Amino acid sequence: MSVNAIGIDVSERGLIAVVIDAQGTIVRGATSHDTADLAKVVRAVSSKGPSPVVGVAAEPSHRPLIEGSLGKLNPRISSPGSAAVVAETWIGAAKGARHAICLWIGDRVFAGLLLDGQPWAGAHGFAGSAGWLALNPVERQDYRRFGGFAAEVSHSGIARRLSWRIQSGDHSEVLERAGGLDAITAAHVFEGARSGDGLALSVVRDTAKYIGMAIANLASAVDPECVVLGGDLAAAGDLVFEPMAQECSRWLPPSILPVLRIELSTLGANGVAIGAARQAAVQAG
């Protein structure tokens, strides 16, 4: 990678664009809450000179938008999971690993798999659909809509579980801080847990257990060197890491337990965009 590359993370939340150099350092960046601003965001981070190398991480539903907005730039399109794990194994918490998983949890829930140094997308491009991991045999409507794992641990899932507990009669000061049941967010739950709110702590512990079970399932199937927890949940590592690791150890095969590393991402919200840029630069030569 000898030239700067642009990487863009496209999601329902909006756009995150970065320009990285050969060492993975972010040179410039831009964001937008509107995916229709895709071309505008690329112009904002581009410099004068030849057409830039552009990588875009997005779900298949966004492909028409990408091709319509950036078609002339020949963008390299990858899945968010592939981009995330590429970033982590290049400059992140799994640096140098050839077999790794990045489990990303926030507004979105997905995973990226790197096998023998290459991102693995599966037979139909759907590998890493971690939000649909089945961890609870109870059938619920939100499981069918979002996926069982995502319904429990995504931002909306965390907030929803606390709201349900309050509606069933449990008390939490989070309700007063948020100003109403519908206003509760995952950030409120984590804030409540850090301040010692018993119900918020219970919800966070349950979240950590679900994540630990998911990591154990993924690691048992893939046998990676490292699993990295990325996304907004990584910022709550002070609350979730220990109970998550303990739960994971309960479900891992004894042969994998001593050799598996579990790490928290340090790349923050830019991780997917960094990986998209890296993949595009490598493909461009």
Residue-level pLDDT at 3? 65
Residue-level pLDDT at 235? 94
Confidence of residue 174 (pLDDT cuts 50, 70, 90): very high
> Any idea of the CA torsion for 260, 220, 101, 103, to the nearest 10 degrees?
-110
Asked whether the beta carbons of 217 and 251 are under 8 A apart, the reply is: yes
Taking the C-alpha atoms of residue 166 and residue 72, their distance in angstroms, rounded to an integer, is: 52
Taking the C-alpha atoms of residue 47 and residue 45, their distance in angstroms, rounded to an integer, is: 7
Percent over 70 (pLDDT), the chain:
99
Asked whether the beta carbons of 43 and 21 are under 8 A apart, the reply is: no
Confidence of residue 285 (pLDDT cuts 50, 70, 90): confident
Confidence of residue 214 (pLDDT cuts 50, 70, 90): very high
Q: Give the mean pLDDT of 6-25.
A: 96
pTM, entire model = 0.94
Closest C-alpha to 59, from 131, 144, 2, 5: 131
Q: 108-133 b/e with 16+ CB inside 10 Å = b?
A: bbbbbbbbeeebbbeeeeebbbbbeb
Percent over 90 (pLDDT), the chain:
94
2: pLDDT strictly greater than 60: no
90-142 tens-digit pLDDT: 999 999 999 999 999 999 999 999 999 999 999 999 999 999 999 999 889 99
Q: Give the mean pLDDT of 37-57.
A: 91
List domains and CATH numbers for the chain.
5-80+269-284 (3.30.420.40), 93-266 (3.30.420.40)
218: pLDDT strictly greater than 60: yes
Confidence of residue 47 (pLDDT cuts 50, 70, 90): confident
Residue-level pLDDT at 51? 78
What is the 3 state secondary structure string of 241-255?
HHHHHHHHHHHCCCC
Residue-level pLDDT at 150? 98
1: pLDDT strictly greater than 70: no
Confidence of residue 8 (pLDDT cuts 50, 70, 90): very high
256: pLDDT strictly greater than 90: yes
Taking CA atoms, 179 is separated from 43, 186, 190, 197, in Å, by 40, 14, 16, 16
For the chain, the average pLDDT equals 96
